[in-house]
Amino acid sequence: MGRLVVAAAVAAWAFPIAALVNSVVPEPYMDEIFHVPQAQQYCRGDFWTWDPMITTPPGLYYVSLAYIASFFPVAWMFRVAKTFDVLCSTVALRSTNVILAMVCAVLFHDLLLCIQPGIGERKATTYAILVALYPVHWFFTFLYYTDVASLAAVLAMYLFCLKKQFWISATFGVFSILFRQTNVIWIIFFAANGAITYVKDLYPKDNVSHENSEPTHQSRKASVRDNKISAQGLRRRRINNPIRKKVIVSESANPYNSLTEEVWDISLKLWNLKCEILIAFAPFVVVMAAFVAFIIWNGGIVLGAKEAHVVSPHFAQFLYFGLVSAAALLPWHFTPNRVLDLFHLSGKNKTSSSLAVLMGLGLSFITVHFFSIAHPYLLADNRHYTFYIWRKVIQVNWMMKYMLIPLYVYSWLSIINILGKSQTRIWVLSFVLSVALVLVPAPLVEFRYYTIPFVILVLHSPAINNGKLLAMGSLYAAVDLSTLVLFLFRPFHWEHEPGTQRFMW
């Protein structure tokens, strides 16, 4: 029932707004001038002509082809279209993303129930509708971009990975790469954490509570010895322990030692069960091998316009994501209670907390000073909101980019702390590294790139009350309507180039 409600809610606003967008902006706009003609080439059966300005693989065009082919027989029967390629209009191609936005919402609903089963059907439905309203994702639902399809493929991959249907998950992983190459990082992330969960299920004795205890050198040696014994006698000693409990780590334990201990322990278990892991996760290995072969054949990760998308050490992008995501999840991160919680938490272990904050501030300063990249597109294209954020906020004066550093550090500390309440340290570490690997190489600041890690962050954040959800949904809706009005009804013109220009994310 929840799935139907989610799909119906998204459809209720998506189809009317899509019709409005198509009536005001019937012609391809911005990157659509590359994607729409390319998809129409495919509709005409020409699979060999390729626009060199397109940077992503043709996954979206294949999906559109299958989608439009599904209703061509009816159109032909009623003489709406005599040939298939007539149906591949800009309107029809854009509607692909409207359908995929509904799919995204349903997948999010199912994933949330899988990750947080105690959340309940009603709240999962509310969350799915809320995420469908997330402004950046919502906006690109109505244009022919790859972002919505990319998110749908990644969410499907994650869902089937959690269900341990690894061949299906890896198949969706292939689809996700066909929409955007950087999704290979999420394949690695899901597969790695799936392997860790798989191994932990085979070591039930490690779930015994260690409350208020810190492992000693002797206990670590004993643990290593026990792990080796467990791996050898695994089939004879399957799960049958009446005292299984969740691990409780003492708050006074050194977090760095605890993280090191966890990484070492997991690494040892993975090594002991390497054959079983390789067999179970062989689909992901095949996908990774194929991707490496593609990079070698292509000479890089980007297909076209390589000179404008050179891999760069854009570490500031990582900081931007933290602040944007924390701001978009305002009730989780920017409330008085949240600030007090972090303050009290730091007071319990002043030495390590102070060290973490100082390191964060120091590294952020280095990042902002040396690794803030201003891509030529960012500086020249005043159609994007990032153009104004860069000029009017970050670069308004020479001090502002440094004044934002405490907000960057606070945002990431809050994100890590919230994720750490429900996930293991190694999961949090792998998520942070995945975000960095996806965003840091990208020289251009695009909020579209943040959508997938943002949605994963929401999936693993604790539930909040309905009042806060309503407030957040209202805020999202207000931003959505504002950006839509600006896009449709506040056009402008460039003196040096003909045509109508519009504001967008």
Q: Which residue has the tokens 């179970």?
A: 280
Instruction: Report pLDDT for 235.
Output: 39
Closest CA to 261 of 206, 313, 308, 298: 206
Burial of 70 (0-12, 13-18, 19+ CB in 10 A): exposed
Instruction: Report pLDDT for 377.
Output: 87
Answer whether residue 309 shows pLDDT above 90.
no
Instruction: Report pLDDT for 247.
Output: 36
Greater model confidence, 83 or 142? 142
Instruction: Report pLDDT for 139.
Output: 97
Answer whether residue 225 shows pLDDT above 70.
no
* Cross-strand pairs, 230: none
Instruction: Report pLDDT for 243.
Output: 32
> Residue 480 — left, alpha, or beta (φ > 0 → left; ψ -120 to 50 → alpha)?
alpha
Q: Which two tokens stand for residue 421?
A: 């309440």
pLDDT (mean) for 393-405: 94
Give CA separation, 162 vs 197, 245, 262, 263, in Å: 9, 21, 21, 21
The band of 69, judged by pLDDT with boundaries at 50, 70 and 90, is: confident
The band of 257, judged by pLDDT with boundaries at 50, 70 and 90, is: low
Averaged pLDDT score across all residues of the chain: 86
pLDDT (mean) for 329-335: 90
In this prediction the pTM is 0.87
Answer whether residue 41 shows pLDDT above 50.
yes
What is the enclosing helix (H) or strand (E) of 492? Answer: strand 492-493
Q: Which residue has the tokens 């209202």?
A: 474
pLDDT (mean) for 333-344: 84
Closest CA to 334 of 406, 261, 432, 438: 406
Comparing 19-28, 57-66, 149-158, 245-254, the range with the smallest average pLDDT is 245-254
pLDDT (mean) for 127-141: 97
Q: Which residue has the tokens 């995945």?
A: 434
pLDDT (mean) for 360-373: 95
pLDDT (mean) for 426-438: 96
Instruction: Report pLDDT for 430.
Output: 96
Delimit the domains of the chain by residue range: 310-464
Q: Using CA atoms, how far apart are residues 316 and 373, in angstroms rounded to an integer?
A: 8
What digits encode the pLDDT tens for the residues 167-191? Answer: 999 999 999 999 999 999 999 999 9
Q: Using CA atoms, how far apart are residues 449 and 123, in angstroms rounded to an integer?
A: 27
What digits encode the pLDDT tens for the residues 403-425? Answer: 999 999 999 999 999 998 888 89
Greater model confidence, 232 or 29? 29
